[in-house]
Structure 1
Amino acid sequence: MSTQGKVWLVGAGPGDVGLFTIKGREILAKAEVVVYDSLVGDGVLAIVPASAEKINVGKRAGHHTMKQENINQVLLEKAQEGKRVVRLKGGDPFLFGRGGEELELLCEHDIPYEVVPGVTSCIAVPAYNGIPVTHRDFCSSVHVITGHKREGENYNIDFEALVRTRGTLVFLMGITAMEDICKGLLEAGMDPETPAAVLQQGTTAGQKRVVATVATLKQASDAAKIQTPAIIVVGQVCQVADTFGWYEKLPLAGYKVLVTRPKELVSGMAKKLREQGAEVLELPAIGVKPVEDRTNIYKAFEKLDTYQWLAFTSPSGVRIFFELLMDAGKDIRALGSVKIATIGRGTAKALKEHHLYPDLMPEVFDGASLGAKMAKECEPGAKILLARAAIGNKEVTEELAKREDLTVDDVAIYDTFYESQELIDEKGQFESGKIDCAVFTSASTVKGFVAATPGLDDTKVLAACIGKQTEAEALRYGMKTAVAKEASIDSLVDLVIELKMQK
């Protein structure tokens, strides 16, 4: 008998991945099938498990990849196959998300399910635009209305009742019908001077706000070329938007950045960029894994006490070194009195997680500088274990070779492989200018990015590079480049802010 499957209706929030709930993220991480909408933000799509079956059901006003009854059937069939199914929906599943319809068929067939609420755009998008949907000085209620109607049909909305509430009105999915909505409110007796706003792509880099009146909103929206998805807010609270607006004051507000680092190292960079207001796409272009043939590294482990120096060139090298050390039945005590050299702060930070501090770190964070500084400071006849990627560059060993008395065991402990994802069209977003820049932390991430975006005109990519080696690789593909003042995450973030200011 097959294992019973289960369905989770998960609200993905309004776009900003930071507004995706903790519970939603935990459930998504375990999904075997993900059925997703067009309104799910890129940041959330980027964390869909690579192993999951992904089914795009579209669903944006006027454009449906799959009819609702077919979506219901897909959820049922995949659950009946015994799968963990996540129905990922923009905003909240039960607020005009047709979540109730999807549950009906599951109930009929006794399929277990859970609902994970999402942060809804009717609250979050005004908040990101400085509009409190309730305010004691202006209103005592808020009303959420769908602005969507079937083609050729009249609105089934009691505009007179809405006007009588004197509350804040939030219309979702109403951009194409904005003229009809404003007309309905005016004909129902609303003061033409009532403040109104249209809010485009809230909580993302595409966020844009137009504040006008009910009488002038359509004209102002057209002049500003507002694009969907967007919401309409009507009420006195709209007048405080310019005063309370906060998102646009952040240094990287309105700037979309692609971060390309090995998967396990992404979050620190992304977090710092998001704190500055950027919309960040975490799309690892490379992955790392321990080498399959571990003969040489295990040989080195057996004679660790013979080395005077242990050198690391990346955080991944540190992480995998200690993983393999444990696999070999050894721990930190096996290092004895060996001194440790690292290439930069990120690598040093990874080392500190094992309660170790580097004895040597060059002022400039690149291979040549590490090799040169070690060649200068290593004691006569020193023996060095260089634990790094199989495709490590030659600059470290070339500098060390200038000291003929040094013995260097250059041991590959991990392989680098290129990754790609299928849910986000990086190529299209770069070519349309939706992604403002890409951040590269090594030459290998540049190579991985190029491999993951076949057909992209790389001259359209603005590359923020951690160092000269990385820049040289980006220039090989014709990218526009800028280099951080020093090879650190903080310096890269400062560089991205400079690039935005120059835009």
Structure 2
Amino acid sequence: MKHTEMSLTDKKIIITRAQEQTSEARKIFRKNGAEVFDLPSLVIGPPDDWAPLDDALKKISTFDWIIFSSANGVRNVEDRMREIGLSLSKISKTIQIAAVGRKTASLLSDMDAEISFVPPSFVADSLLEYFPQNQKGLKLFIPRVQTGGRSILSDSFRLNGAEVTEVAAYESSCPKDVPQKTIEALKSGEIDIIAFTSGKTVINTVSLFNKYFGGNWFKLIEKIKLVSIGPQTTISCKKLIRKPDKEAEPHDLEGLLNACLELKFN
């Protein structure tokens, strides 16, 4: 969907993202007239132990499918593969790759990796529903976040008879600080929208709000519109804050922008 008018003009938005991923979001929202305030709520780093991932990569040729549900998983798998003279581009000629989400698929394409399957909706449940092959007896490799991710993929594939190797390819943790400019904007009631990009960003944002504003944080944001990127993020919002005013569709940055553009302000 193209937006010719800058309908977020004069709107002040906090986008909760990983520290490494804020520039893309900032660009998209600024283009539509918004003033963006940074609240990095994830720090992406290595897993505590590389050994499980390295062991899986040594026997990569034994798998039928690799299933990526995040760009972070793609990056770290590619980096570790290169150390043993492999690449996702090479192995995608013989092993099928599934990618959840436009960004995950885009990164794989940039690496010249062949993608066999992208589910119609950018959530794990869609991958399960539309998976193109009978899963019984399949050997699947699922690189994932070390803590805080959902185990729905591996659990469901195992129930359907697949042999699943699931290993930590990266970790995401809570940053220690919030930029002073963002704190001041929250305190003075300037912020119009907070956009959450994952369940973990909700958890970490609440933790940071507690740290900076104490028990008063809830009152501080009660008039701010909340937008969620997808169903799991919405669940986290409901549990820890309140029901979001909008949920993105599709569940990516473009969908998040559209959801913000559709908000009604008094």
Report the TM-score when normalising by structure 1.
0.47
Could you list the per-position Cα deviations for residues 47-79 of structure 1 after superposition, in whole angstroms to 9, with x for gaps in the alignment?
A: xxxxxxxxxxxxxxxxxxxxxxxxxxxxxxxxx
2:37 pairs, out of 281, 295, 300, with 281
1:471 and 2:234 aligned: yes
Q: CA deviation at 1:369?
A: 1.9
Q: CA deviation at 1:422?
A: 4.8
Runs of 4+ in 1 over 6 A off after TM superposition: none
Task: Specify the code of the residue in structure 1 equivalent to 2:37.
Answer: L
Q: CA deviation at 1:318?
A: 1.1
Distance 1:377 1:267 in 2: 37
Higher helix share: 2
2:106 pairs, out of 333, 337, 349, with 349
Q: Name the SS for the 2:170 alignment partner.
A: strand
Q: 1:451 to 1:461 in 2, by over 3 A?
A: farther
Could you list the per-position Cα deviations for residues 451-500 of structure 1 after superposition, in whole angstroms to 9, with x for gaps in the alignment?
A: 2222221545432111111011011122351201221211110111112x
Match of 2:83 in 1: 327
Q: CA deviation at 1:335?
A: 4.8
- Paired positions, count: 252
Q: Which one has a bigger Cα radius of gyration? A: 1
Report the TM-score when normalising by structure 2.
0.87
Q: 1:380 to 1:397 in 2, by over 3 A?
A: closer
Distance 1:313 1:384 in 2: 13
Q: CA deviation at 1:292?
A: 2.9
1:399 pairs, out of 149, 156, 180, with 156
1:358 pairs, out of 115, 118, 127, with 115
Q: 1:417 to 1:495 in 2, by over 3 A?
A: same
| Percent identity of equivalent pairs | 26
Q: 1:293 to 1:267 in 2, by over 3 A?
A: same
Could you list the per-position Cα deviations for residues 85-113 of structure 1 after superposition, in whole angstroms to 9, with x for gaps in the alignment?
A: xxxxxxxxxxxxxxxxxxxxxxxxxxxxx
Higher relative contact order (CA 8 A, sep 6+): 2
Unaligned runs of 5+ in 1: 1-248
Task: Specify the code of the residue in structure 2 equivalent to 1:489.
Answer: L
Q: 1:447 to 1:290 in 2, by over 3 A?
A: same
Distance 2:15 2:193 in 1: 9
Task: Specify the code of the residue in structure 2 equivalent to 1:361.
Answer: V
Match of 2:196 in 1: 440
Match of 2:250 in 1: 486
Distance 2:67 2:73 in 1: 9
8 Å Cα contact 1:431/1:460 also seen in 2: no
Instruction: Select between 449-458 and 272-281 the one with higher mean Cα deviation.
Output: 449-458
C-alpha RMSD of the superposition: 2.0
8 Å Cα contact 1:305/1:335 also seen in 2: no
Q: 1:252 to 1:348 in 2, by over 3 A?
A: same
Q: 1:397 to 1:372 in 2, by over 3 A?
A: farther
8 Å Cα contact 2:18/2:40 also seen in 1: yes
Task: Specify the code of the residue in structure 1 equivalent to 2:252.
Answer: S
Q: Name the SS for the 2:250 alignment partner.
A: coil
8 Å Cα contact 1:371/1:397 also seen in 2: no
2:137 pairs, out of 378, 381, 397, with 381
Distance 2:83 2:116 in 1: 26
Q: Name the SS for the 1:377 alignment partner.
A: coil
Distance 2:173 2:134 in 1: 33
Q: 1:334 to 1:486 in 2, by over 3 A?
A: closer
Distance 1:357 1:493 in 2: 29
1:413 and 2:176 aligned: no
Could you list the per-position Cα deviations for residues 154-189 of structure 1 after superposition, in whole angstroms to 9, with x for gaps in the alignment?
A: xxxxxxxxxxxxxxxxxxxxxxxxxxxxxxxxxxxx
Distance 1:428 1:468 in 2: 30
Unaligned runs of 5+ in 2: none
Q: CA deviation at 1:448?
A: 1.7
Could you list the per-position Cα deviations for residues 329-387 of structure 1 after superposition, in whole angstroms to 9, with x for gaps in the alignment?
A: 4334245511111111111112122112421122221122223333x524642111001
Match of 1:265 in 2: 21
Q: 1:477 to 1:287 in 2, by over 3 A?
A: same
Could you list the per-position Cα deviations for residues 421-471 of structure 1 after superposition, in whole angstroms to 9, with x for gaps in the alignment?
A: 354264553354211111111101111211222222154543211111101
Match of 2:12 in 1: 256
8 Å Cα contact 2:64/2:138 also seen in 1: yes
